[in-house]
Amino acid sequence: MSILCVTHRSEYLYQQPVILGQHRLMCRPRDSHDLRLLDTGISISPQPSELRWMHDVFGNSIAIANFAEPASELVFESTFRAEHFPLPTQSLLVDDYAMTLPLSYSASETVDLGPSKARQYPDPEHKLDSWVKSLMENTPGLGTVDVLMAMVAAIKTDFAYKRREEVGVQTPVETLQLGSGSCRDFAVFMMDAVRCLGLAAQFVSGYLYDEALVDAGGGLVGGGATHAWIQVYLPGVGWVEFDPTNALVGGRNLIRVAVAREAAQAAPLVGSYTGAPGDFLALNVRVEVTAE
């Protein structure tokens, strides 16, 4: 068990004071059997005229801030401490009927998983389908877990990681053509690839840390920005984490904050402002994960 401390700071800078619209922030992790929140905090400058909390349709905690006064700088800083209980590395023991592809969910599961099985992006030339088919041809036995692990390994090996500051994500076809992308792009790519197989998948946003450094004690053990990966629903196991950027399976080094059907629904921070076209100067994001 490790006690992790996470600080996530987002700083917007403007040329002159602008009118701040409503901002929605996802910063509170989801309590689970492998993560227990000890305390949380949030600081916003300038002080919002109203701050309220809600749960979205996926059960994510969202802070909604409204502002009354113009400002040339807007800063959100969220912090939390949590006990993390990494799951032991073990085989994914899926139900017998789900061990090989194609996989058919039970009738009750299909009703609830329906939207998570639908592909999000068009692929008129079936390029993603061809990529998935080629992968399966090279995976003997068509074991469900084997195919998913081969998919994670192929994305890690065949695509170049490229951090992008632009808002939004590449389509899976764009990522395939470019041969590169960010963690969000890889998550979206794998999510639609998994759905090609008829499996249900969800987009996940949160934080990544290096457990080896946590065990060594103290200091910075993760940083940069938020991270993105996916969950795949496997009968007998449930929702399982797959991180194509780092070829991680099982979520051992991942702290989930938001889970959604598509990437846009899990954005860490969304907001607006009213001002001149050139008023926006920069967005600076810093994430630090330390161990007590």
pLDDT at res. 222: 45
Read off the pLDDT band of 19 (50, 70, 90): very high
The CATH topology of domain 96-266 is: C8orf32 fold (3.10.620)
At 174-217, the pLDDT tens digits run 999 999 999 999 999 999 999 999 999 999 999 988 766 555 55
Higher pLDDT, 197 or 165: 197
Tokens of 131: 């990529």
At 55-102, the pLDDT tens digits run 999 999 999 999 999 999 999 999 999 998 876 656 788 999 999 999
Higher pLDDT, 167 or 234: 234
Q: Is the pLDDT of residue 242 over 50?
A: yes
At 210-231, the pLDDT tens digits run 766 555 554 444 456 789 999 9
Read off the pLDDT band of 1 (50, 70, 90): confident
Tell me the average pLDDT across 1-11.
90
User: Which residues share a beta bridge with 222?
Assistant: 289
What size, in residues, is the chain?
292
Domain 2-85+268-291 sits in CATH at 2.60.40.2250
pLDDT at res. 90: 66
Listed by start position, the domains of the chain span 2-85+268-291, 96-266
Tell me the average pLDDT across 270-285.
95
Q: Is the pLDDT of residue 255 over 70?
A: yes
pLDDT at res. 211: 67
Average pLDDT, the chain: 91
DSSP string, 109-171: HHHHHHHHHS--S--TT-HHHHHHHHHHHTSGGGBHHHHHHHHHHHHHHHSEE----SSS---
Tokens of 89: 């590395």
